[in-house]
Structure 1
Amino acid sequence: MLRSHFAAAWVIMRRDFCAVIFSKTFIFFLIGPLFPVFIGAMAAAVGSQVSRDIDNPVIGIAMPAHQGDSLVAARGSLAPKMSGFVPEYTVLARLEPGETFDARTVLASKGVKGAPQLAAVITGTLEKPVLTGSSERVDQWRGQVALIAAEAGAPGPRSYPEVKEDKIATTAAKQHVDLAVTAQAGQVLLFLLTMLLAGMVLSNLVEEKANKIIEVLAASIPMDALFLGKLFAMLAVSLVGIAVWGSVYGMLMLAGMKSIPLLATPAVGWPMFCVLGFLYFAMAYLLLGSLFLSIGGMATTVREVQTLSMPVTMMQLMVFFFASYALARPGTWIETASLVFPVSSPFAMLAQAAQSPVLWPHLVALVWQAVWVGVIIRVGAQLFRRTVMKSGPARGRRGWFRRAAAAPAR
């Protein structure tokens, strides 16, 4: 009796062991612990690259004759020897005797496409330079400017000039960086919510297929309506979850928890940004959810759903990285592609809402995304019906010949 129990346990243990070892899931199980490290490294690399690309300060120079060129040359020779970051220098104007230059107006303007965003401007002369910029930038670069101006001066004993300060409240470059930080924060929040919630759709049809309930539903209503109803039901559940999490966070804030860092006011204003954030979350969830519903509908067991979850998660991450990378490439084909590609469009458009006050592109984007939700649901429902719900005798010439051969002769 005891021996038979051990034999049965051995058979079950061997069967389950072989099933796991020779399954695709086991591969993901082995490399699974590496994914958090890999994703963390990629997120850090993309975030630092975006920060460097966004906050790449340039100092403009407007000085008499060729003094600006001498300052640029001196910066080029000293920068490799200096500790800390040394911004790029560029000559804006070579002033004639008696000519003036309005540095404040230049810093307040957004410039033209393709031109660098100026963080500060150096005017005056090499003997008496004037550094115009925000208070933070002036305090940071005043010593560097004095050293470089001394290097660019006449040969002989070095005398470091006194750099006159001309501080302003803010610059267009600083505003650009602050708005980009707000845009990136919105993208991160949108990504975290969709990644946390959209994955639930993968296993939505497994139980109905196992219990044959899906066949009754498919016979009663169109498959497109079934997919759409399930998708919106899961969206409603997600919104309830977000409301609960938001309420808990609000109570923690009232209890004295430290607040998140303040972000710059988005270009469309906080009320409209929150409305657009809600709409883009809904569209991102519907777009990804319709894809996941179509993919998960092909699975027949929970094990298959678990196998599909890792590639689906990686797809979400690639979409987020693409939208984040496009954030630092304004005016390029990369940004255009992120705005047009349906799955990345909600992330890219939310960043646009933080950086541009124009509203009509958001209406176009929402309509475009809604059209693609309908297309994906339609294709997914048709694919599900043809591959999973197919039944009945074979059709076509082979099926006709078989029926004719099986029919009794008259």
Structure 2
Amino acid sequence: MLDIAKIREEFPILHQEVNGFPLVYFDNAATSQKPKKVIEALVKYYEGTNSNVHRGAHTLASQATEQFEQTREAARAFLNASSTEEVIFTKGTTEGLNLVASSFGRSQIQEGDEVIISTMEHHSNIVPWQILCEEKKAILKVIPMTDEGELIFEEYEKLLSEKTKLVSIVHVSNSLGTINPIKQYIDLAHRYGAVVMVDGAQSSPHFQLDVQDLDCDFFVFSAHKIYGPTGMGVLYGKKALLEKMPPYLGGGEMIKEVTFEKTTYNDLPFKFEAGTPNIGDTIALKYALDFMNEIGREKIAAHEQDLLAYATEQMKAIDRVKIIGEARNKVGVISFNVEGMHHFDVGMLMDANGIAIRTGHHCTQPLMHRLGIDGTVRASFAIYNTKEEVDRMVGSLRKIIAKFAK
């Protein structure tokens, strides 16, 4: 049994009142809160180690470099990548997706080639491919989904062909919580010789990952979704692919030698890490990974599934509430709407009671269009959330509906 009360003590931000009520933070799919060890690591770096990495011969530079590269090893282990050469530091999932679209896409995609994404993608896994396909005169195809929020595998099979060069698909839907059977999609794409990118922004906080078992070609996630700092992320790529790809940015660190006639690029992973990186937040990410590993990702998943089941049962018992997205396999995300109320109004009224939830289209406008709605109210859970907080949300929602729903 996890001691959730003890875990909550590690998160200073949770122990406050919002609008006169104890904070209930159910906006974890947008960003998670940070434990003390992450905050302290960031402060410690700036107070005692602050120096640029990989370039200085002095003590502080050596210390900063060692800590920086310790995070790369921690990220490798987190994903079970085969080598730290396959771990590229970015500023987040969005940059990782754009890096692959710009580097792999522009060097490998040709006119008439096809790229496949899905209906439930975040805008950051739609727009880069649209830009690429427009530039290259390639074709963008979209995997449809059911009303319940599950991708239709049979339709995906029909989209694949010898023209398919890349499939970029979300592991877990940020809007619906759907867990896609990603390994099945990867295996089939590989039969056609296609490369597969996995958006792991919403899977990385919730369960064990193994990129070698998945056999994905690329995988991206953001630190701030997994109890780490904002402005930092990780791109995993198979070494053979990364070696063939041209640099994404030019500048310091990504070079071996520069002359006016020619530049020789650095080895992996530094070829894709031009300029001074986000050193402090990168160092702090290791402490977030340590936090998750110390609890155990299986235990995190079990706790969140327990919360999801409990909250779903409670929400279904409320008149006028419709849950949006009822896939058979989900993480701790509940999207819903209230009959007779706009989702934004529900969110504002919940906030008045100290309950932080997200409203809107959640950067998935095509998904909302498919469902015939313009947005939802979304509650999303993390390891520090409790059933008592779910009860507060449900009680608050009942009162709001009784008073304001038309």
Q: Under a length normalisation based on structure 1, what TM-score does the superposition of the two structures give? A: 0.25
Q: Under a length normalisation based on structure 2, what TM-score does the superposition of the two structures give? A: 0.25
Question: Greater strand share, 1 or 2?
Answer: 2
Larger Rg: 1
